[in-house]
Amino acid sequence: MLKNAIGREIPERIEGLGELTPYQGPFAIRPKNRRRGPQLRQVEPGEKKLLPNLEKALIETGAHDGMTISFHHHFREGDYLLDKVIDAAARIGLKNLVIAPSSLTNVHSSLIEHIKNGVIKRIETSGLRGSLGEFISKGMMDTPVIIRSHGGRARAIEAGETKIDIAFLSVSSCDNYGNASGCVGRNVCGALGYAMVDAKYAEKVVLVTDTLVDYPNVPASIDQTDVDHIVVIDAIGDSGGIMSGPLRHTSSPRDLLIAEYTAKVVEYSGYFKDGFSIQSGSGGASLAVARFLRDKMLEKNITASFMMGGISAQHTVMLKEGFVRKLYDTQTFDLEAVKSLAENPNHVEISAAYYANPHSKGAVVNCLDVGILSALEIDTDFNVNVITGSDGIIRGASGGHSDIAAGAKLKIVIAPLVRKRMPIVVDRVNTVTTPGETIDVLVTDWGIAVNQKQPELMAVLGKTGLPLYDIKELQEKAESITGRPDLIKYTDRIVGIVEYRDGSIIDVIRQVM
């Protein structure tokens, strides 16, 4: 075991995953390798790409035991494809598959059966929820899962660390030569930002759609030059599902108080001026922050240069009204926003690599002024956990959290001090996904704490009348309300490793007892 730069014990190697590099700091690892693309291929004039079903696609693309297949999660809780492909793989007898979806949601609990019966051997993902997260946390897989941020996944794919043999990508519409869109079709999902990376780097790319349209289906998010095959099925997913998951609209006084404090922190921080840029998360309070800022922008007569996210209807309304000039969209969060992406040229679809890959010539996160981030837990070193619940069970997603925290100029974590009796500000988080050195401010409903590494910001906010505390005081306050929680009991067995965006290991997740 080695201790990484934030004091977490990391094994030197793990059976089935190989050597691990401990986390050394947000920009400590410099890339040395080259981008790794797929084998060149020549599709000749007259060749057909359409195949009748998923089994045929698996066979045609050379599916074999132990290979890696990837998916995207743009349909979130409405995804049908992942289950269908794994079922098809099971039917043709494939075993020991590595699955590398951009994330997994509650709908993917059926994977448990395929882990038990040996079809799936290993998982790489951003998130895990529901009974699948519980199953893995209880130590039911032989090889630990790899948790990556969205930028980290793009990096791993481009660097050839995640070698995708076949990408199965559901697309809302497609022509018979592989030009695909998420904005047109029977079941739309909007941006295809995660899928765009897989399409460029997977050995074989199979697009799956329920809406086959006339050639050419342009503008296309994934284009014909990257696509091997196309399969048409009855339904790829449920558009309604993109709205579910963690998204909430709030009227909660607690969320509104947090949002009000946060908007003030942004306003007084020095970054709130004409042309500023901001990313806000998908939680209720995050969405409310944007509403408060809108009023302040009116007051000061300024506009934002760009916003990014998770793009929801609220962002698109601000775009239409002229509060913001451009929207960067990797993943679209509701149907209003899908419509905007299809119609508004200033609402721009970008890939996960463009958004957040640290080993590139500059991802969008580097250009951000303000990042508003959530937390399941945050500790007195400002380390944030967004992957395991307070009970130690995997029930979250790394997402773009650590990417934004590394890239943006002002990184604010917002969270209630107490959530269902659980203190959210703690001595030590169960799992670190984002290192505290990349977080500047914590805003809770009981007060605000500024990271000691930001003395200037502390001085500025000190003059505003906002309720500032040392983060240790907030931690004590939380515990005085809830009582001191009994410690979660873990075994020594590692069930998951959490990669930092640069590929080093920031923490491991152990089996809960």
Partner 1 sequence: MQIKCVGESGTTASGDILIKIEPCEGEDIDVEIYSTVGKQFSRQIKTAIINTLQELNVSGIRVLAKDNGALDYAIKARTQTAVCRAGKVLSFDWGVLSDEQNKENDAVCSR
For partner 1, the binding residues (CB under 8 A) are 390-392, 418-422, 481-483, 485-486, 488
- Closest CB to partner 1 among 328 and 446? 446
The distance of closest approach from Cβ of residue 111 to partner 1 in the complex, given in angstroms and rounded to an integer, is 25
Give Cβ neighbours of residue 439 (< 8 Å, ≥ 6 apart): 373, 378, 382, 383, 384, 405, 411, 413, 451
Torsions phi, psi for 413 (to 5 deg): -95, 130
Three-state secondary structure string covering 368-389: CCEEEECCCEEECCCCEECCEC
- Closest CB to partner 1 among 12 and 391? 391
Give Cβ neighbours of residue 412 (< 8 Å, ≥ 6 apart): 262, 265, 266, 370, 371, 372, 373, 440, 441, 442, 443
The distance of closest approach from Cβ of residue 420 to partner 1 in the complex, given in angstroms and rounded to an integer, is 3
The distance of closest approach from Cβ of residue 383 to partner 1 in the complex, given in angstroms and rounded to an integer, is 19
- Closest CB to partner 1 among 345 and 483? 483
- Closest CB to partner 1 among 101 and 284? 284
One-letter amino acid for residue 394 of the chain: I
H/E run at residue 47: none
The distance of closest approach from Cβ of residue 390 to partner 1 in the complex, given in angstroms and rounded to an integer, is 6
| Distance (Å, whole) CA 222 – CA 199 | 7
The distance of closest approach from Cβ of residue 137 to partner 1 in the complex, given in angstroms and rounded to an integer, is 12
The distance of closest approach from Cβ of residue 479 to partner 1 in the complex, given in angstroms and rounded to an integer, is 11
Of residues 466, 433, 432, 463, the one with CA closest to residue 449:
466
Rg over CA atoms, the chain: 22
| Distance (Å, whole) CA 433 – CA 383 | 8
Question: Within 303-360, where are the H helices?
Answer: 313-320, 335-343, 352-356
- Closest CB to partner 1 among 391 and 427? 391
The distance of closest approach from Cβ of residue 421 to partner 1 in the complex, given in angstroms and rounded to an integer, is 4
| Distance (Å, whole) CA 451 – CA 437 | 8
- Closest CB to partner 1 among 136 and 337? 136
- Closest CB to partner 1 among 91 and 249? 249
| Distance (Å, whole) CA 181 – CA 332 | 13
Of residues 164, 161, 158, 99, the one with CA closest to residue 126:
99
How is residue 403 written in tokens?
């990417």
H/E run at residue 326: strand 324-332
Asked whether the bond before 358 is cis by omega within 30 degrees of 0, the reply is no
Torsions phi, psi for 82 (to 5 deg): -55, -50
- Closest CB to partner 1 among 299 and 486? 486
- Closest CB to partner 1 among 59 and 481? 481
Q: Beta 127-128 vs 396-397: how paired, if at all?
A: antiparallel
How is residue 144 written in tokens?
């630990």
The distance of closest approach from Cβ of residue 484 to partner 1 in the complex, given in angstroms and rounded to an integer, is 8
**DSSP label at residue 488:** P
The distance of closest approach from Cβ of residue 375 to partner 1 in the complex, given in angstroms and rounded to an integer, is 17
The distance of closest approach from Cβ of residue 392 to partner 1 in the complex, given in angstroms and rounded to an integer, is 8
The distance of closest approach from Cβ of residue 276 to partner 1 in the complex, given in angstroms and rounded to an integer, is 35
Place of tokens 């075991």: 1
Of residues 73, 89, 59, 36, the one with CA closest to residue 169:
73
- Closest CB to partner 1 among 41 and 420? 420
- Closest CB to partner 1 among 308 and 474? 474
- Closest CB to partner 1 among 486 and 492? 486
Beta bridge partners of 102: none
The distance of closest approach from Cβ of residue 478 to partner 1 in the complex, given in angstroms and rounded to an integer, is 12
Give Cβ neighbours of residue 369 (< 8 Å, ≥ 6 apart): 271, 276, 277, 278, 408, 409, 410
- Closest CB to partner 1 among 45 and 483? 483
The distance of closest approach from Cβ of residue 365 to partner 1 in the complex, given in angstroms and rounded to an integer, is 33
Q: Beta 68-71 vs 441-443: how paired, if at all?
A: unpaired
